[in-house]
Amino acid sequence: MRVLRAAGRTASAWSNGGGVTREIAAAPPGAGWDAFDWRVSLAEVGRDGPYSALPGVDRVLMVAEGAGLELTVDGTRHVLPGRHRPFAFPGEAVTDCRLLDGPVVNFNVMVRRGRSTATVEPAREQHLALPATAPREPGEERTRLVVALSGRTTLDGHGSAAPALSLERHDAALLPADTGAALHTDGVAAVVTLTVRAATGARTD
C-alpha cells in the first residue's frame, strides 16, 4: 500500500476565487489537466459559482463536509443535501453551484472518458471486505484508492504480515485492486476503484 498523508498536500486556488483544491492522487502521477487518466481531489468551496468545463472527462462529486449544495447541470437542478452521496455528471456540461448553507468540502473523482472508469462507494462506520478484483480485459490496470473522509480508517492486507495501516481525516492509501484487504472505519471512508484501459492504436513498425 502507498500512503498519501493529508499533511503533505498543496492547496491550489481557483481562478474565480471561489475555493481551493488539494489533489490526493492522479495517474499518471503529476499529470496536468490535459493529460491525466484519472484524478482524485478534495475541494473547499466557499461561495457560489460556475464549474470549469472539462470536455471528455466524467466526474463524480460527493459532499464530504457541510450542509450540501445545488448543482445546475445543463439547465437541470440537482440538490445534493447532506453528505457522502456520489453524484455523477459529464465534465463538459454547463454546471453552476449554489451552496445550501455555508461552505462545503467536496470529494471529487475525474476520469478520462474512453480511457478510464471509476466506481465510488462510501463506507460508513463499518467493517468491509475489499475483495481482489482482476482486470476484465488484457492490458487493463485496476487500482483501489481509500480516503478517510471522517474519523479513523484502518486497512489490513489479506495474508500480509505487515501491521494494519491507520488513516486519519483526509489521509489516503493506494493499493492494487488485485490484492484483497479489510477495511474498518469509525467514521466515513470513500472506496474508489479505478480502471485504466490499455492504449490503442500504437504503431508496430
Domain ranges of the chain: 9-112, 116-196
Residue 203 has pLDDT above 60, yes or no: no
Q: pLDDT tens digits for 19-71?
A: 899 999 999 988 888 889 999 999 999 999 999 899 999 999 999 999 999 99
pLDDT of residue 188: 96
What is the C-alpha to C-alpha distance for residues 111 and 57, in angstroms, rounded to an integer?
6
* Average pLDDT for 74-91: 95
Judged by phi (left if over 0) then psi (alpha if -120 to 50, else beta), residue 194 lies in beta
Topology of domain 9-112, per CATH? Jelly Rolls (2.60.120)
- The CATH superfamily holding the domain 116-196 is Jelly Rolls (2.60.120.10)
Residue 174 has pLDDT above 90, yes or no: yes
Planar angle of CA 16, 28, 123, nearest 5 degrees: 75
Same fold, 9-112 and 116-196: yes
- Do you find a cis peptide bond into 135, omega within 30 degrees of 0? no
Residue 201 has pLDDT above 50, yes or no: no
pLDDT of residue 161: 57
pLDDT of residue 30: 82
pLDDT of residue 31: 85
pLDDT of residue 159: 56
pLDDT of residue 162: 66
The pLDDT mean for the chain works out to 90
pLDDT of residue 158: 60
Return the higher-pLDDT residue of 41 and 81: 41
pLDDT of residue 198: 76
Q: Are 76 and 87 within 8 A, CB to CB?
A: no
* Average pLDDT for 67-89: 95
